[in-house]
Structure 1
Amino acid sequence: MGEGAGRSSDGVDRRDALKTAGAVLAASMTGMSASADAQGTRSAASAKPDKLPLGLRLQGVQHFGLTVQNMERAFSFYTEVLGGTEVMRDGDFQGERIHNTLLTGQEIEARTRGVNPRTMGIPDLRGGAQRLDVRFIQFDNVVIELLQYRDADQPMGGPRAFAEPLDHMSPAFPRMMHICFHIRDDVDFNRFIADLEAESARRGMTHVRANRVLPVTSEDERRAAPLGANSNPITEGKSDGWRLIYCTGSEGEQLEFVQALGPVKRTFDGALEARRKIVAAAR
């Protein structure tokens, strides 16, 4: 949920966009010639803010939003397991303005199909039958927002959401998104994944399961795979130095964990430095 969303009256303030958000420039931009780069930054610097290219009017990524089934469970996962810190929480959002702000497109789609919006999982914030609660969690370079839509008679932070969660969502589905966490360079990636699963299981978070790089055909085989199967190190091509694994979170959401070392680390660091120079010249 972006800035400007709020109660049915005048809304609530949101924190300014994080200046340290983890935006990186596409690697292709690192190949710009020095003369083209200089010309572009000079023209950007002389332009008024509202005349700048859209990308230079941004401050990066402010947050990733995740709609959850169980707010307290998800909050515990992202704070107590993954170590984020709470920024703020708010809730009981309802009314005409917030409904229109978030759900206009879905309402139009339901009307076009000639079906009741509730059958499509569209809550009635307008009339107050459902409510929206949010919590923001700070990590080192970005914020995650947890959202829960609930019936009005359900308590804030409870385990029952308004709509049923979507199951069997492969990462290959168009519109599917994931949250990617960056593991420190000096951390043993495979041990991190093992500890993540163990800590989550200790808390009853049975959805937290990482993939394995070896073929497995059952949950028992997945759990029995050796420690070295917990991550996939890439050692050639443009992604040389990238290590990754996909994992599901406490709500069944798609997560990724990565390390970026060696050549790929230099690629991303260079792209970030190039981005910072372009943004600094535009201010």
Structure 2
Amino acid sequence: MSDERQNTSEMGRRAMLQTAGAAVITGLAVGGTPTVALAAAQDAGGMSTADRNEAPLGARLQGVQHFGLTVQNMERAYEFYTAVLGGTEVFRHGDFQGDGVQNTLLADQEIEANARGVNPRTIGVPDLRGGAQRLDVRFIQFDNVVIELLQYRDADQPMGSSKSFAEPVQHMSPAFPRMMHICFYVRDDVDFNKFIADLEAESARRGMTQVRANRTVRVMTEADRKAAPRSSNTNRVTQAPSDGWELIYCKGPEGEQLEFVKALGPVKQRFSEALAKRQQTVTR
């Protein structure tokens, strides 16, 4: 085979893999028609919903849905990922505050601050609960992955501000700039609360006691977190344009920041439409 034919074949193979990967990530193919790759990913083994919920954890995932990056300067980061690297905005949402978002994202850090006897702010925990700080997000679509840009800012700073709540230093809190998290995509038919409980149990069985998911109710000690009802394993978002998310933050075995999500209904459709539009306009 000539070099030209090899290059052509390789380009075609890459395009096929990119398209299949993108379809799996969004959960929908262009126009809503399932692709072979998507069908294989969602229906592996032909499991019933009941069987799926008792299957190994890996069989209940659809892969990685997005990567999140907490930034110091939202507009600068947005320009880099869109104008420089060519990503396409899916949607943006912001001014998040209140008990629900505070508990979902930052419960483990409040437990840590309480255990140390220090003000949560000193270890990088914003006050979303009281509204002193706010969280803004923007989702950027690439061919086979989505990047989420997050900025925690003081309430008196405008959205897109160049001034973040915390300095860009290494720490455990996900509110610090440069802190990334990996988001795993849970299958649509999986019981999210049970998945989180099983994840913690399986990790503990293997001696990975650092793997701890947050709760959507306020907890001040590790005992409180463990005693929280199973229903608090899931934050169900109902406000547009984020309506359809089910999510919780979780620490991994090395202290890395993880997130587990389901993308259902309206938010799933938004990602699907953004991908379809991108595939129609991007020239290879």
Q: Quickly name the TM-score band, shorter chain normalised.
A: 0.3 to 0.5
TM-score, normalised with respect to structure 1: 0.45
TM-score of the two chains, using structure 2 as the length reference: 0.45
In terms of fraction of residues, the more helix-rich structure is: 2
Larger radius of gyration: 1
